[in-house]
Amino acid sequence: MKVCDIMNKKVITCHPREKVSVILHKLKTFDISGMPVVVKGKLEGVITRTDIINYLTMGLEVTEIDREEILSKYNTQVGEIMAKEVVSVPPSLSIEEAAKLMLEHNINMLPVVQEGRLLGILTRGDIIKALAEYEEEA
């Protein structure tokens, strides 16, 4: 089975100029943990809920966090804090190889890219669901 067989083609994305506050709203609204950052169909990076939490708190204890500083960080553009080094996969890759990459890099999603353009996204959940459905058919 290939990545293109199970990837999600309806990907929630964002632009690097979108603010952290907007991204947090998208993550909650669509119940996702992260999303590709895209400009004109080209993958520029990835932003996750963990990236945002780490940025907002910078490892501080709750009592040390300054309210004004947090509020100002909500206006930060995602392009400033997104991961720019992104592990991505081609649509023709096997799901076994994709799963190995996820384990190796300790990530939960892989953008599916061909010639620099985002085609879809593959999550650990997509792989688990595909394997469960495969077992039912067997």
Scan for tokens 């996204």, then name that residue. Answer: 121
Per-residue pLDDT of 72-117, as tens digits, reads 788 899 999 999 999 999 999 999 999 999 999 999 999 999 998 9
Smallest CA-to-CA distance from 13 within 37, 32, 41 is with 37
Amino acid at 51: D
Q: Quote the pLDDT of residue 133.
A: 79
Report yes or no: 71 and 116 within 8 Å, Cβ to Cβ: no
Query: What CATH number did the domain enclosing 20 receive?
Result: 3.10.580.10
**The pairing of beta strand 34-39 with beta strand 42-48:** antiparallel
**pTM here?**
0.84
Q: Quote the pLDDT of residue 65.
A: 63
Q: How many domains does the chain have?
A: 1
Per-residue pLDDT of 31-57, as tens digits, reads 999 999 999 999 999 999 999 988 887
Beta carbons within 10 angstroms of residue 55's beta carbon: 16
User: Residue 124's domain spans which residues?
Assistant: 3-137
Measured between alpha carbons, how far is 46 from 62 in angstroms, rounded to an integer? 26
